[in-house]
Chains A and B, each alone.
Chain A
Amino acid sequence: MNTTQAITHHRTEAPILSIRKVSLSYGSEAVLNDISINIKQGEISCILGPSGSGKTTLLRAIAGFVPVASGQIDINGERVSDSKAIKPPNERSVGVVFQDFALFPHLTVQQNIEFGLGKLPKAEKHKRAQQYMQIMDIEPLSHKYPADLSGGQQQRVAIARAVAPEPDLLLMDEAFSALDPTLREKVARDVRQIIQKLGLTAILVTHDQQEAFAFADTIVVVANNCLQQFSSAYDLYHKPKTFFVAKFIGEGAFIEGKAFKQEKGWFAKTSLGTLRLPQRLSGELYSSDKTVKILLRPDDVLHDDASPTKAIIEEKHFRGAFIRYQLRLPVTNEKVLCFAPSHHNHAIGETFGIRAEVEHVICF
């Protein structure tokens, strides 16, 4: 018992995947520059980014399908990719679930799972396939062909095929996007549970933040050819490090403010009153009279009839318990979002009073 714990403990120390200063290019075009990430044993992570951000290319580099232009990738302490050499995919202990599942239509579920088991003896392959079909709850389907399965069942087969060789690292490329949107979040949570049960380390590539939030412990945001932020979902939302992340994650709008210094620290004068500015993460200082961009989440803007600031309603979306208003501020014409309780029902074109109540100001 103690030894097992010791080993587990030891393994959690060293990252299972270590990406250092990796740059990727497609032809002569740079796709991603200077990416560094460490993923620990048992960690479930997500690469999130808009389409064309190079997130799939990063996943393919980890799998060994594409070479790196510079930098190194280590899996389980072993060098698998650098600018000089690339270890073939089958020798780097990774499993991959592809976007369209890529199940072989001419093989049964069982044969598909056995396909990935390489040179194991036949009986062993059979046993292993049975074992993973049991885990994925697809045993009754073992002799069916992919064409006879539903999307969700196909995905379970694809996951079983990827994890049956017992890889150190499970890579999933937009693995939920082929599913019905209403199913996605639930399936993502189910899959997360299975991965945890198996004690696997997994990385999912996605463009859908809700999916990323439902699935991952940590999220890698890539955009504009570089790593934007690598942190938990909570920190991405509440402590975005870059302007891109602030804009990309969650809902919100930016208003402008003029920075000025008082005894207590730095403040900004905005059309919604004076807001206290935080210390910048970069350590960079503010300078007087410089304009800053301040992020206002819809829950930072409160409906308040007593407030002197009256905003005009431009759009409204009924969401049940609350209404999401898009408002235009007087004078500056800036736009903000506001979640107002459902009973504050106003028509488009009307005005109501608002005030800002921001616990931690995010500004750039």
Chain B
Amino acid sequence: MPIKFSFLKLSTWLITGLFAVPLLVVFASLFQFDTQIWTHLIDTVLGSYVYNSLALAISVGLGTAVVGSYLAWFMVNYDFMGKSVLNWLILLPLAMPAYIIAYTYTGMLDFSGPLQQWLRGLLNAPMNAHMLPDIRSLEGAALVMILVLYPYVYLLARTAFSEQSAQFLLVSKLAGLTKFQHIKQVALPLARPSIITGAALAMMEALADYGTVAYFGVNTFTTGIYRTWFGMGNAEAASQLASMLCLFVFVLLWIEKSSRKHHSRYQSRHPSTIKAKTTTSAKSFGILILCLIPAIFGFIIPFIQLAWWSAEYFERDVFIDYLPLLATSLELASISAVLIVSLALTISYCKRKFASRKIALASQFVGLGYALPGVVIAVGVVQVAGFSDIRLNLLTNTLFDWQPGLVISGTIAILVFAYAVRYLSVAMHNTDTGLERIKPNIDEVSASLGASPTKMLKKIHVPLLRASLISAFILVFVDVLKELPATLILRPFNVNTLAVKAYELASDERLIDAALPAVTIVLAGLLPVIFLTMSLEKHKS
């Protein structure tokens, strides 16, 4: 019997197999438990890593849950002036990477910054007086992360609140409940799975963050992994730390997944949706202010500050430094995005065509990359690349008495590979939903009408997929552009991206010079936010 060969299946297995290697390397170090390393870690830094990481994640989780939920509640239940503008404003902080907002606020609130000087002048305080608590602290890190991560909760909670049957409120009224009691006993418990899902995502982002905590000097797992490996050259300890961080992430992933399951149970079958109601102008003004605050501090103020720094101190020299930076970043982001989207499309097609459980599981496993912090993936990728280089050199040495050196580590390719491991699931999410829309019977219809496979691809699949492919490309493009920790670790010498440069300049206290690359990243980050808002508006109408 001839073996049926499918190029699609083969490439899918190759891609998923290759991408699984760095993930497996990191997970594997979980089981290579080394008592000596752990004794040392426990004696020295582990306590502060665990405490800081957990404290950060929990405060970000709670903070985003509170801010995201109250915004969602007001936006769903009330009509007030400026609501259509708020629809946009509330989501803008998504475009602001935490490390960028962190250094912007540092510049503004610093000891020598404009706010403290103004306060000293106002209160006639001596020149050496500290007028504000230091933002470069654990609390400060939590605060800036809440400011940019609350949209995760907001988006999910808004859907949850708007899906609640309007009749629930009537049932509460019949039982004599006040509005507050209704929120506490009905509306919030029903939205809880969504709020927890959003908060879990925000907490995963907080755990994955490297730029903010490194800049603020807060010792967490990510800074610890970086320092252990690149400062002390202890690869084993770094891997063990990375795998422990993975455990925390998995707990969050599990929480997120199980809350999603609850969410589907809580959806009503015959939704009679809530109509937003108008209120007195004083009340509606109050709601407007409350809903504006997160967007003002999460986007508007830092963005204006960044734009002002870039414009005010704009010089020819700065611009000349900036151009190659921009070129490298755009190049890297577009190459990665095209590659990642093509790989994702291949896997999605394979899943659609074969409906195989094994392939679905493999793609799910590779999708885990998105949940893992960039630092962790970098650690996995470096190990794989280093191991391959050593083996390759050994091989060529025995065969030809020649060593090519490090041909895999320290190349652009390895950086793109790391991006792909991390962001493949972002692209796959889009290609999957795009292909879901093209039902298999559409293929059958076009075949029955006599269309050739090429004609079908050109006339049916490409037009139907275009929107998903564009959104996959934009999301991956912007994610790569913003990526900091993996780039910092894996980039070849002399390769600088906007994110790396902004971070380095900020770390050197050259905040103003860092503004131009930073503002570029933020502007690029606005693209997916605009897409998201537009699709939400379309969904509503």
What is the interface of chain A, defined by CB distance below 8 A to chain B? 63, 65, 88-91, 94-96, 98-100, 102, 104-106, 115-119, 145, 147, 161, 178
Contact = CB atoms under 8 A, between A and B. Distances in A.
Contacts of A105: 190, 265-268
A106 B189 contact: yes
A98 B170 contact: yes
- Shortest 6 CB-CB contacts between residues of A and residues of B: A90-B176, A100-B270, A102-B167, A98-B167, A105-B266, A147-B265
Given A90-B176, A94-B174, A145-B265, A102 B165 contact: yes
B190 to A, nearest CB: 6
Interface size class on chain B is 20 to 34
A98 B171 contact: yes
Interface in B136-187: 165, 167-168, 170-171, 173-176, 185-186
A269 to B, nearest CB: 52
Given A96-B174, A99-B270, A178-B270, 19 more contacts: A63-B170, A65-B173, A88-B173, A90-B174, A91-B176, A100-B268, A100-B269, A100-B270, A100-B271, A100-B272, A102-B168, A105-B267, A106-B190, A106-B266, A115-B185, A116-B171, A116-B175, A119-B176, A147-B265
Contacts of B265: 105, 145, 147
A89 B266 contact: no
Given A98-B167, A99-B272, A100-B269, A89 B174 contact: yes
A287 B11 CA distance: 90
Contacts of B173: 65, 88-90
8 contacts: A88-B173, A90-B173, A90-B176, A91-B176, A96-B174, A100-B165, A115-B171, A145-B265
A118 B176 CA distance: 7
Contacts of B168: 102, 104
A55 to B, nearest CB: 16
A94 B267 CA distance: 27
Nearest to B167: A102
Interface in B454-509: none
A38 B168 CA distance: 29
A91 B175 CA distance: 9
A43 to B, nearest CB: 22
Contacts of A65: 170, 173
Contact of A90 (B175, B189, B268): B175
B270 A104 contact: no
B174 A95 contact: yes
A95 B173 CA distance: 11
A89 B190 contact: no
Contacts of B267: 105
Contacts of B185: 115
Nearest to A117: B175
Contacts of A99: 167, 270, 272
A197 to B, nearest CB: 23
Contacts of A100: 165, 167, 268-272
A178 B268 CA distance: 12
Nearest to B189: A106
Contact of B175 (A118, A145, A147): A118
Interface in B257-283: 265-272
Q: Which of A63, A104, A147, A178 has the most chain B CB atoms closer than 10 A to its own CB?
A: A104
A65 B270 CA distance: 20
A158 B474 CA distance: 48
Contacts of B272: 99-100
Nearest to A60: B170
Interface in B4-28: none
Contacts of A96: 170-171, 174
A181 to B, nearest CB: 15
A145 B264 CA distance: 13
Contact of A104 (B170, B190, B192, B269): B190
A295 to B, nearest CB: 37
A102 B170 contact: yes
A107 B361 CA distance: 34
Contacts of A89: 170, 173-174
B164 to A, nearest CB: 10
A193 B395 CA distance: 88
A96 B171 CA distance: 8
Contacts of A118: 175-176
A105 B269 CA distance: 11
B427 to A, nearest CB: 34
Contacts of B190: 104-106
Given A145-B265, A178-B270, A102 B171 contact: yes
